[in-house]
Amino acid sequence: MKYTALERAELIERYEKGPALLRQAFAKVPREAWNWKPAAGKWSVHEILAHCADAEANAAMRIRYLVAEETPRIIGFDQDRWARVLDYQQTRIELALAAVDVMRSHTVNLLRRLPDEAWSSAGTHTETGSYSAEDWLSSYAAHLENHARQIERTLNAWRQEETRPGIEPTS
């Protein structure tokens, strides 16, 4: 195994705190900035939150497949295609945030109950190859942290855009 029990506990703690970080970042975003995109091909805050909800649904199932099935196949997904095809701009933000909260809480409950041997469970990810429960934990402990920072960067870019007269930066 890659991690000690203490290191795994720290990663689970980070994983558990992810929704709060996401909500804190989002709370700073004025309504008029929700759908603004920093560049072509980049996501709006609205799309980031919708992605987080879908990614959490996938993550919740992935860890369950990894620890409950023998040699599971973990399917990757094209997040940009999902954003486009599932029309993330029309997702209800309050439902996306609630989905993140529920999936994370439900999964934290599972993670804290897993025996040590479950963490060596592994399968094959269609994009990265060998993929263990510890790989999953490492990736998803950082996932919402990364998106909270992405929201902050998007907000900062929105504030700095020169084409919006009358908007004062509020840092």
Q: Would you say residue 165 has pLDDT above 80?
A: no
Phi, psi dihedrals of residue 124, rounded to the nearest 5°: -125, 125
The domain spans of the chain are 5-160
Of all helices (H) and strands (E), which one includes residue 84? helix 79-85
Three-class SS state of 44: coil
Q: Would you say residue 152 has pLDDT above 90?
A: yes
Distance CA 125, CA 42 (A): 26
Phi-psi domain of 87 (left: phi exceeds 0; alpha: psi -120 through 50; beta: other)? left
> Which parts of 72-169 are beta strand (E)?
73-74, 122-125, 129-132
What's the rounded mean pLDDT across residues 135-161? 96
pLDDT in tens, 100-115: 999 999 999 999 999 9
- Using CA atoms, how far residue 43 sits from 31, 51, 162, in Å, is 16, 9, 19
Q: Would you say residue 12 has pLDDT above 80?
A: yes
Look at residue 171 in the predicted model and tell me its pLDDT: 46
Summary mean pLDDT of the chain = 94
Strand 122-125 and strand 129-132: the pairing is: antiparallel
Report the top-level CATH class of 5-160: mainly alpha
Q: Would you say residue 133 has pLDDT above 60?
A: yes
Token pair recorded at residue 154: 């998007």
Look at residue 57 in the predicted model and tell me its pLDDT: 97
- Using CA atoms, how far residue 153 sits from 24, 56, 98, in Å, is 14, 21, 23
Taking the mean position of all CA atoms in its chain, how far away is CA 108? 14
Is the pTM of the predicted complex or chain greater than 0.75?
yes
pLDDT band at 1 (very low <50, low <70, confident <90, very high): confident
pLDDT in tens, 25-78: 999 999 999 999 999 999 999 999 999 999 999 999 999 999 999 999 999 999
